[in-house]
Structure 1
C-alpha cells in the first residue's frame, strides 16, 4: 500500500513588511520542487503599508489577527489544511527544493526540524554564528532558520506560548527537543542581516545573549520583552 501523501502549509507572520513580502513569496515559488505545498498563509498583525495587497497579488491567502508573532503563527496553524506546518520569517529565504527536503525527512519519520542559516552579508563575525547553526542543540536554534513540524505534534504541544512577545520560536523549539528528534537539514536558509546593520553586529549579538541568559535564569517572558524593547526594538 502506498504511503500517505503529505502536504505542507507555509505560514509567514508579517507586520508592515512591504519591502520583504514580495521577495520571499517569489523565492518560495522559484525554489519549490514538489506539488505538495497545500497553501501559503500570510498572517498579518495589522499592517498599515502595502504588505497585505502585495501578498494577495502573489496569490497568498491572507489572515488578519492580533499583533504578536506567536499569536499570528498560532492563528495561521488553526487555518491550515496540510499535515506539515512550515513557519518562515518574511526576511528568510528558503533554499532550492526546500519543500522536497522537508517531505523526504517527514516521510522518514522526522516530525520536526529546520535548515542551517546563512546571512546576506560576507561578515566573518556573522558567518561564525551562522556556522553554529549546524550544531544540533537548542541554544543554536532560532526562528530565522525556519521550522517544519508535524501538525499533530504542534497541536499536542499547544503551539507557541503567546506570553512570549520575543523568544517565542526558541521557547517552542526547546519543547520540541524534549518531545521528538529534531533534524537539522544540511542546506541553508538565507536571512537578512538588516537588524545587525542597524544596531551593530556585536551589540545586537550581545543583547541576544542576554535574552538567552534571562531565559536560562527563569526571568520570564515579560522581563525578556522589556529588555528587548529597551535595547533592540527600533
Structure 2
C-alpha cells in the first residue's frame, strides 16, 4: 500500500465479525497485483470483534454514526483515493476484479461513469440463483444494481452527484438513479458473492416481496424513514 492510493475500498460495518474476514481476504488480490489502494472500514459502533479484525488486516478505521447511508457517506469523505469502491462487509469479490477495475479506471471516459459487479449468493439453491439472475437483469435493464453488487466510481464525479445520502434505507437507489442507467457499466468477469442470510432467515419469497414493496414505496414518494421501519 502506498502513500497515494489510487483506489479507496470503503466497507461499512456493524457487528460483521462473521463475514468481514472473508471480504478482506479477497481484497489481498490487490496487494499481490500491486494495485495502490487503501481499505477503509466505516464502523457504526460494533460490539463484537469487527474493529479488531479490521485492524489486524491493516484496514483504516473510520468511526461513523450507525446507518449504512451515513457510514458509506463518511467513508467516501475520508477516502484519499482518486477512485472509490464501495463494498458490503458480507460480500466477496470473485474473478479477476483487480484487472477489471484497472481497465475501467484506465479509460478517461469512465471518469463520468460508474461500474458494478454481477450478483451471486453464497447459497447455490435454485431459488437464490433465480433471485440473483433477476437482480442482474434489473441492473442491465433499469440501471438499478443493489448495493450488494459493489460500486466503483471516480471520487470527484461521486462528490458532484452529492455522495451517498445519509438515509436509513434506499441510499444505493438514490445514488444509482443520479448516475443514470447509461452511465452504469458492469465490470466484466467480476462477481459479487454476497450472503443469502436474510433470504434464509425471512424466506426467499417473502424477502423478495419485501424488497419490491420497499422499492415501489420509494418511487411512490414514501419517505426512506417510513420504508426503513417497515423493512426492519
Fold agreement, TM-score > 0.5: yes
Q: State the 1:201 CA deviation.
A: 0.5
Aligned to 1:94, the other structure's residue is in SS state strand
Cα distance in structure 2, aligned partners of 1:32 and 1:100: 12
Query: Does the C-alpha gap of structure 1 residues 99 and 66 become closer, same or farther in structure 2, counting only changes over 3 Å?
Result: same
Indicate the residue corresponding to 1:104 in structure 2: 103
Q: State the 1:13 CA deviation.
A: 0.2
Indicate the residue corresponding to 1:128 in structure 2: 130
Query: Does the C-alpha gap of structure 1 residues 70 and 161 become closer, same or farther in structure 2, counting only changes over 3 Å?
Result: same
- Tell whether the 8 Å contact from 1:32 to 1:98 is kept in structure 2 after alignment: no
> Which segment drifts farther, 83-92 or 132-141?
132-141
- Tell whether the 8 Å contact from 1:37 to 1:99 is kept in structure 2 after alignment: no
Query: Does 2:161 match 1:157?
Result: yes
Q: State the 1:151 CA deviation.
A: 0.2
Q: How many residues align?
A: 223
5+ long unaligned stretches in structure 1: 230-234
Find 1:171's aligned residue among 155, 174, 183: 174
Indicate the residue corresponding to 2:228 in structure 1: 225
Cα distance in structure 2, aligned partners of 1:74 and 1:150: 14
Cα distance in structure 2, aligned partners of 1:122 and 1:74: 32
Q: State the 1:185 CA deviation.
A: 1.7
- Tell whether the 8 Å contact from 1:138 to 1:173 is kept in structure 2 after alignment: no
> Which segment drifts farther, 101-110 or 153-162?
101-110
- Tell whether the 8 Å contact from 1:31 to 1:97 is kept in structure 2 after alignment: no
Cα distance in structure 2, aligned partners of 1:146 and 1:152: 18
Superposed CA RMSD: 1.9
Q: State the 1:30 CA deviation.
A: 3.9
Query: Does 2:149 match 1:145?
Result: yes
Query: Does 2:86 match 1:82?
Result: no
Q: What are the residue-to-residue correspondences of 1:7-86 with 2, within 5 Å? A: 7-30=6-29, 34-86=33-85
Q: State the 1:143 CA deviation.
A: 0.5
TM-score by structure 2 length? 0.90
Aligned to 2:21, the other structure's residue is in SS state helix
Find 1:119's aligned residue among 118, 121, 134: 121
